[in-house]
DNA sequence: GTCATTTATTAATCTACATTAAGGCATAAG
DNA sequence: CTTATGCCTTAATGTAGATTAATAAATGAC
């Protein structure tokens, strides 16, 4: 359990890594993402200040996701065992967020997803490139542009 | 921790329930699902023999999902605390399955999803109605019919 | 058994989003 | 300064899957 500083762009975990850690974000921003068979990135979660970012895997299992820093970030690196015992509820919340994402991807239109996103992460919209928000929403950057234009016109 | 028999169609957990349990399936089939704002069902997971079905929520939090039996089922009902301590890795596997579903929904076409489904659950295809498989895949029953027709023609 | 209800299939049409391509703004590098 | 590189936006075109509707098959109630 140690305090670490990482630079924007630094990769903390790669798919396949063993003995992965959990990261509690003190300041900055992390993301976790997967790369599909076609080589496309899909963002799973953003973790701003106060969040814990941890791969879901067990000790023996290789990591399923990549984790990197979208901003210079200060974090506490923890052994997962410690997380398991003491921070269970935070990890469980993470599972809930994932469930909400499945519902969203199955039922909501691009506009609805975007509106939900800015409710959930009002500050992050300004902090990450549009194409990453598109990736999180499961749409193309072009479609996101259109959504935002309609969004503005509505007001 | 007790052995229970439930009939097909019986609901084990409703959204909003408190003090929810975890269920280890001995025989039969459970499913968990959500109902979106438009009233549509979206299936999250099927749990056949050997699986543990548990809502992701913490003790204080109300349940996010419904759980019901798709077949007459025999199961072991457990306190979640017991699950947390002794069956962590099974719950973690569940999180991994959910992650795979997010990737699938973001990147795979209807045909790819269906092919992946029959690989993952070769036996369940015959055990549940088509419309539930469609719900799990995030497509309409009509689209699933078309996919299956193309699937047959390919061979 | 009959009748009612739910489910699955097929086809015709529609639409949300993807794809492609082009142009405008940045930031960084020489 | 100029040029290159990456990102965002806009518009035109294409397409996978949704929607609608009609028919058939299966399931369940009585």
* pLDDT value at residue B57: 56
* A131 contact to strand D (CB, 7 A limit): yes
Model confidence over A38-82: pLDDT tens digits?
A: 667 777 888 888 888 877 655 566 787 888 888 888 999 887 655
Assigned architecture for domain B1-106: Sandwich (2.60)
* pLDDT value at residue A26: 92
DSSP B72: -
Name the closest nucleotide to A143, judged by C1' and CA. Answer: C17
* CA distance readout (Å), A98 to A50, B28, B64, B70, B100: 18, 27, 12, 24, 11
**Please, what is the end-to-end C-alpha distance for chain B in angstroms?**
48
Round to whole Å and give the CA distance between A109 and A113: 6
Q: Is the pLDDT of residue B75 over 90?
A: yes
* B111 contact to strand D (CB, 7 A limit): yes
Q: Does B107 touch chain A (CB under 8 A)?
A: yes
Grouping H, G, I as helix, E, B as strand and the rest as coil, residue A40 is coil
Average pLDDT over residues B62-91: 73
* Interface touch B103/A34, C-beta < 8 Å: yes
Residue of higher predicted confidence among B126 and A86: B126
* pLDDT value at residue A93: 62
Q: Does A107 touch chain B (CB under 8 A)?
A: yes
| Tokens linked to A53 | 């970012």
Query: Contacts of residue B138 in chain A, CB cutoff 8 Å?
Result: 105-106
Average pLDDT over residues B57-81: 78
* A99 contact to strand D (CB, 7 A limit): no
Domain residue spans of chain A? 1-107, 109-155
* pLDDT value at residue A153: 59
| Distance of C1' in D8 from CA in A19, Å | 39
Q: Is the pLDDT of residue B59 over 70?
A: no
Shortest CB distance from A96 goes to which of B36, B64, B93? B64
Q: How confident is the model at residue B82 (pLDDT cuts 50, 70, 90)?
A: low
Round to whole Å and give the CA distance between A136 and A101: 9
Model confidence over B104-131: pLDDT tens digits?
A: 787 778 888 898 888 888 878 887 888 8
| Tokens linked to A31 | 């993301």
Evaluate whether A97 touches A45 at the Cβ level (below 8 Å): yes
Round to whole Å and give the CA distance between B39 and B26: 31
Q: Nearest residue to nucleotide D20 when comparing alpha carbons to its C1'?
A: B142
Q: Is the pLDDT of residue A8 over 70?
A: yes
Evaluate whether A88 touches B57 at the Cβ level (below 8 Å): no
Minimal CA–CA distance to A34: which of A24, A26, A42? A42
Q: How many CB atoms lie within 10 A of CB A15?
A: 14
Model confidence over A100-113: pLDDT tens digits?
A: 778 778 777 888 88
Evaluate whether A71 touches A127 at the Cβ level (below 8 Å): yes
* B142 Cβ contact partners less than 8 Å away, ≥ 6 residues apart: none
Top CATH class of A1-107 equals mainly beta
Round to whole Å and give the CA distance between B15 and B86: 25
């Amino acid at each position: 359990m140690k305090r670490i500083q990482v630079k924007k762009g630094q990769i903390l975990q790669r798919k396949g890594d063993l003995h992965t850690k959990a990261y509690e974000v003190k300041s900055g921003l992390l993301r976790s993402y997967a790369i599909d068979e076609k080589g496309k990135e899909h963002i799973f979660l953003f973790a701003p200040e106060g969040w814990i970012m941890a791969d879901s895997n067990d000790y023996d299992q290789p990591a399923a996701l990549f984790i990197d820093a979208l901003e210079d970030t200060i974090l506490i690196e923890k052994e997962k065992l410690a997380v398991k015992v003491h921070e269970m509820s935070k990890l469980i919340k993470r599972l809930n967020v994932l469930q909400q994402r499945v519902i969203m991807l199955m039922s909501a239109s691009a506009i609805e997803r975007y509106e939900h996103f800015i409710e959930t992460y009002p500050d992050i919209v300004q902090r990450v490139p549009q194409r990453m928000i598109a990736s999180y929403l499961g749409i193309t950057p072009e479609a996101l542009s259109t959504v935002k234009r309609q969004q503005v016109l509505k007001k």
